[in-house]
């Protein structure tokens, strides 16, 4: 029994433990990175859904709101800005926030049109957009949760050493901009 506890065997055992820990840490980091990418993809799916609903909403509102043309133009411009926004998720976030604000303005203005509020197509589209906005928020929270887990794993010792050696970097959270937190003001 004692012959197995030679110094070289102890060194091999210690190296084996370190190698197994490195493999486990690397696999955990990769798993967290892919969860974050999946969460980002979920956000993109919901943003695409919203993007596709907006033209239908605008068409149903146009007939009722001829003199509110600037609101409709702002929504159209914000949608176009989202389509033209390139880069990563954080770069697109600003355009998405502007679109969210213009949609809020559209719905606030629509409150002054009783016939529009009673229109079944408008109500269906409004419900779909509200549902989509809720799903976007849930997807953002899911993304931020995954980014939090990844960033914690990257930051804690001793996993931070492995993360740094293998090129894992902290990711940025989706954040709400100041304009999105403000109440919408509608003036007539």
Low-confidence ranges of the chain (pLDDT < 70): 1-2, 60-70, 86-91, 109-119, 121-122, 176-188
Res 180: pLDDT? 47
Q: What angle do CA 72, 74, 75 make, to 5 degrees?
A: 65
Residue-level pLDDT at 170: 87
Domains, the chain? 2-181 (1.20.1440.20)
Could you tell me if 50 and 92 are in contact, meaning their C-beta atoms sit under 8 angstroms apart?
no
Distances (CA, A) of 170 to 39, 145, 153, 162: 16, 13, 9, 13
pLDDT of residue 14: 92
pLDDT of amino acid 91: 67
As a whole number, the mean pLDDT across the chain is 78
Tell me, what's the pLDDT at 68? Answer: 63
Q: What is the pLDDT of residue 24?
A: 92
């Amino acid at each position: 029994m004692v012959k197995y506890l030679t110094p070289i065997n102890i060194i091999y055992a210690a190296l084996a433990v370190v190698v197994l820990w490195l493999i486990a840490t690397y696999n955990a980091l990769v798993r967290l990175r892919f969860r974050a990418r999946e969460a980002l993809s979920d956000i993109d799916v919901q943003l695409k859904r919203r993007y596709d609903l907006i033209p239908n909403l605008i068409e149903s509102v146009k007939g009722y709101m001829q003199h509110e043309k600037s609101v409709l133009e702002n929504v159209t411009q914000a949608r176009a800005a989202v389509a033209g926004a390139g880069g990563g998720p954080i770069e697109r976030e600003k355009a998405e926030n502007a679109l969210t604000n213009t949609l809020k303005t559209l719905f606030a203005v629509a409150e002054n049109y009783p016939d529009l509020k009673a229109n079944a197509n408008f109500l269906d589209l409004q419900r779909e957009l509200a549902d989509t906005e809720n799903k976007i928020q849930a997807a953002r929270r899911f993304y931020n949760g995954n980014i939090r887990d990844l960033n914690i794993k990257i930051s804690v010792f001793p996993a931070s050493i492995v993360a740094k050696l293998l090129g894992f970097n902290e990711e940025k959270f989706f954040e709400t901009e100041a304009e999105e937190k403000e109440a919408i003001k509608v003036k007539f």
